[in-house]
């Protein structure tokens, strides 16, 4: 049941010692309506969890001070209701079984995409009756973006965006009027382990702009659409459309 007050954001404790992965998880979660806190060690995670109740624990197994499975065991014993998702590079079945025995609810093997992680979290949280972040459709001039339904329309006509084009537009639309860095876009739309070329971002951006231009050219009356500004050396900004 929805009320007029927004639900409290889902609190996520990210336990990850890798700087790049931790930062991308934090950015991606915050950009999608979650409230993340990042701990780099098992010890600091246990201390953090002792004074704040978290809805979700995202747990790397290879931590510098202790085995992530021990962190899972301790927190599962203390908080039986907490959702625990283990993030690991270990792919052996025996490790997966050990993780589930230690109290993990789910398992993601690195590298995984932010999109997959978010989908799994939504599914788990729904089952637990914790409300996942609500995303209202975003209206920007003649453009309507319904993120949960994955629908983009211009004057009620659906724009046939490719999956990554849609996700790129969704991230920019959720930060309309703000600069979004290439790194944030890569981490959120692609993968937190994307190290290397960001050419795929340029190709996807070109496709997105082309499809929006085509939709704009065929719609009648001519719609006012938000423009995507390129910020040289940084990233992109979706401009709020002028008020009619």
Residues that bind Ca ion (CB under 5 A): 17, 60, 62
71 or 180, CB closer to Ca ion? Answer: 71
73 or 182, CB closer to Ca ion? Answer: 73
From CA 188, how far away is CA 185, in angstroms rounded?
Answer: 5
Closest listed residue to residue 29, CA positions, set 70, 98, 75, 85: 85
In the bound state, the residue with its beta carbon closest to Ca ion is 62
The least distance separating Ca ion from the CB of residue 228, rounded to whole angstroms, comes to 36
165 or 192, CB closer to Ca ion? Answer: 192
The least distance separating Ca ion from the CB of residue 112, rounded to whole angstroms, comes to 14
- Give the E-state strand segments of 25-82 in sequence order: 35-39, 56-60
Q: What is the DSSP letter of 5?
A: S
60 or 165, CB closer to Ca ion? Answer: 60
The least distance separating Ca ion from the CB of residue 71, rounded to whole angstroms, comes to 12
60 or 105, CB closer to Ca ion? Answer: 60
Handedness of CA 183, 184, 187, 189 (dihedral sign): negative
From CA 170, how far away is CA 146, in angstroms rounded?
Answer: 9
Q: How far is CA 55 from CA 15, 50, 99, 118, 157, in A?
A: 14, 13, 19, 14, 39
The least distance separating Ca ion from the CB of residue 63, rounded to whole angstroms, comes to 6
The least distance separating Ca ion from the CB of residue 46, rounded to whole angstroms, comes to 16
């Amino acid at each position: 049941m929805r009320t007029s007050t927004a639900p409290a954001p889902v609190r996520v404790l990210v336990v990850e010692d890798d700087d790049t992965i931790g930062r991308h998880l934090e950015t991606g979660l915050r950009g999608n309506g979650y409230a993340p806190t990042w701990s780099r060690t098992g010890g600091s995670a246990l201390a953090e969890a002792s004074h704040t109740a978290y809805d979700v624990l995202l747990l790397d197994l290879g931590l510098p001070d202790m085995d992530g499975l021990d962190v899972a065991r301790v927190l599962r014993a203390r908080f039986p209701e907490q959702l625990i998702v283990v993030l690991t590079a270990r792919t052996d079945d025996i490790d997966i079984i050990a993780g589930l025995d230690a109290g993990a609810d789910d398992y993601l093997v690195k590298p995984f995409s932010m999109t997959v992680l978010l989908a799994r979290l939504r599914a788990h949280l729904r089952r637990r009756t914790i409300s996942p972040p609500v995303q209202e459709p975003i209206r920007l001039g003649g453009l309507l973006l319904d993120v949960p339904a994955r629908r983009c329309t211009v004057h009620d006509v659906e724009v046939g965006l490719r999956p990554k084009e849609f996700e790129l537009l969704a991230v920019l639309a959720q930060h309309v009027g703000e600069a979004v860095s290439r790194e944030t876009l890569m981490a959120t739309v692609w993968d937190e382990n994307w190290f290397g070329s960001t050419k795929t971002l340029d190709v996807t951006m070109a496709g997105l702009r082309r499809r929006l231009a085509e939709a704009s050219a065929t719609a009648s009356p001519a719609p006012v659409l938000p423009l995507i500004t390129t910020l040289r050396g940084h990233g992109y900004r979706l401009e709020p459309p002028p008020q009619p």
